[in-house]
């Protein structure tokens, strides 16, 4: 990892657990980028960095580790049973569905996640997608770059027609940190915000999901993935939506039925689509979304909503605080 992950020149204070330096394995550091400082982690023990870790390499890389740091690597009974020294798993994300929590609980392995570190970054992309799709920015951009504007003989172009956000109904599905902030920004822009939340809040007009689908001009989705939210946006709910609705998923890929969503776009049943997350990542060659790659009313991004450099550095530093807390007997950000 020489030259990619830096520390300052000052001498590092190494933490000890039971009198020994802790063995820390970071299994998929490449998913976090090569532009971060890992000083906050390096001072906590003996750290081994791996760019990526394939399924067949997991056991070898965790068998002697006391702390394992992962982003998307899957840890389950088949590999965790070989990690006899493992005391703590730190996830560099909010979601923890890639870790067998029941196994960890049964075998005394602590698990920590990092919540809220990327809120502003995800909100930023959500709003950017909504504004871009609502204003047809890609169409207008292409109009100029293709020389059509130069050849037009007129000072402007105002087709396709677009509307102001003010006065539109913006439906927010999920009112956690991210959804709540998106809703506040939408409200500031003059949108009529309605929201779907299992536990309604007085801050926003909360409605059932079917009502939200029927009334909204823009729908942004911010739910975790679980049994209740799997294919939450499906053929039935797509059929309820306005023909010109803008639909955006920055949550989890499987919250959308990708086949149904693709068909709705191709059949012009919805107006525009913004996608940052996929049922299988990266997007596969047989993904239904492949059929939409040339559509002007669709924006795809590669699961990067969380990835502003500020949020990624914050994530690493929060992981370090979780490890330090564990060493000192605390339970900061503990799931188990």
Residue-wise pLDDT for 163-192, tens only, equals 999 999 999 999 999 999 999 999 999 999
- Tell me what pLDDT residue 82 has: 97
Q: Of 252, 258, 312, 314, which is the active-site residue? A: 252
- Give me the phi and psi of 288, to 5 degrees please: -55, -30
Tokens describing residue 295: 């559509």
What residues in the chain have per-residue pLDDT under 50? 1-18
Cβ 157 vs Cβ 140: under 8 Å: yes
CATH of domain 16-117+309-327: 3.40.50.720
| Whether 252 is catalytic | yes
| Whether 184 is catalytic | no
- Tell me what pLDDT residue 21 has: 79
How far is it, in rounded angstroms, from Cα 180 to Cα 175?
A: 5
Domain coordinates of the chain in residue numbers? Answer: 16-117+309-327, 119-300
Q: Which long-range contacts (CB under 8 A, 24 or more apart) does 159-167 make?
A: 160/136, 162/134, 162/135, 162/136, 163/134, 164/190, 165/130, 165/131, 165/134, 165/189, 165/190, 165/191, 165/218, 166/190, 166/191, 167/191, 167/192
Say if domain 119-300 classifies as CATH 2.30.42.10: no
How far is it, in rounded angstroms, from Cα 110 to Cα 135?
A: 47
- Tell me what pLDDT residue 10 has: 31
Residue-wise pLDDT for 10-39, tens only, equals 333 444 444 567 999 999 999 999 999 999
Q: Of 303, 312, 314, 318, which is the active-site residue? A: 303
How far is it, in rounded angstroms, from Cα 322 to Cα 253?
A: 28
| Whether 106 is catalytic | no
Is there a common fold for 16-117+309-327 and 119-300?
Answer: yes
Q: Of 164, 281, 328, 332, which is the active-site residue? A: 281
| Letter string b/e over residues 63-90, b meaning 16 or more CB atoms within 10 A of that residue's CB | eebbbbbbbbbebeeebbeebeebbbbb
Residue 84: CA atoms inside 13 Å, Cβ hemisphere, count? 0
- Tell me what pLDDT residue 1 has: 38
């Amino acid at each position: 990892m020489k030259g990619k992950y830096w520390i300052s020149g000052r001498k590092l204070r190494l933490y000890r657990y039971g009198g020994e330096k802790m063995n820390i394995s970071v299994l998929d550091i490449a998913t976090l980028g090569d532009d971060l400082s890992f000083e906050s982690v390096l001072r906590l023990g003996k750290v081994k960095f791996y760019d990526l870790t394939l399924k067949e390499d997991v056991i070898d890389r965790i068998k002697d580790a006391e702390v394992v740091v992962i982003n998307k690597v899957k840890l389950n009974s088949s590999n965790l049973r070989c990690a006899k020294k493992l005391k703590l798993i730190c996830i560099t994300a909010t979601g923890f569905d890639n870790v067998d929590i029941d196994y960890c609980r049964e075998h005394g392995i602590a698990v920590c996640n990092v919540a809220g570190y990327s809120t502003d970054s995800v909100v930023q992309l959500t709003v950017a997608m909504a504004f871009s799709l609502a204003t047809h920015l890609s169409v207008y951009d292409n109009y100029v770059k293709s020389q059509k504007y130069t050849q037009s003989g007129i000072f402007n172009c105002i087709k396709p027609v677009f509307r102001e956000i003010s006065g539109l109904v913006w439906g927010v599905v999920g009112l956690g940190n991210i959804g709540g902030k998106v809703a506040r920004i939408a409200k500031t822009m003059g949108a009529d915000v309605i929201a779907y939340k299992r536990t309604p809040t007085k801050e926003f007009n909360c409605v059932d999901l079917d009502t939200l689908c029927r009334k909204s001009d823009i729908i942004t989705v911010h739910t975790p993935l679980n049994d209740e939210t799997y294919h939450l946006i499906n053929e039935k709910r797509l059929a309820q939506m306005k023909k010109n609705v803008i639909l955006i998923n920055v949550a989890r890929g499987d919250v959308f039925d990708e086949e149904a969503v693709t068909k709705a776009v191709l059949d012009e049943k919805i107006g525009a689509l913004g996608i940052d997350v996929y049922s299988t990542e990266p997007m596969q060659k047989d993904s239904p979304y492949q059929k939409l790659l040339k559509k002007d009313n669709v924006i795809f991004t590669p699961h990067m909503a969380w990835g502003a450099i500020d949020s990624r550095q914050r994530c690493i530093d929060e992981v370090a605080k979780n490890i330090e807390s564990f060493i000192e007997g605390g339970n900061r950000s503990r799931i188990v």
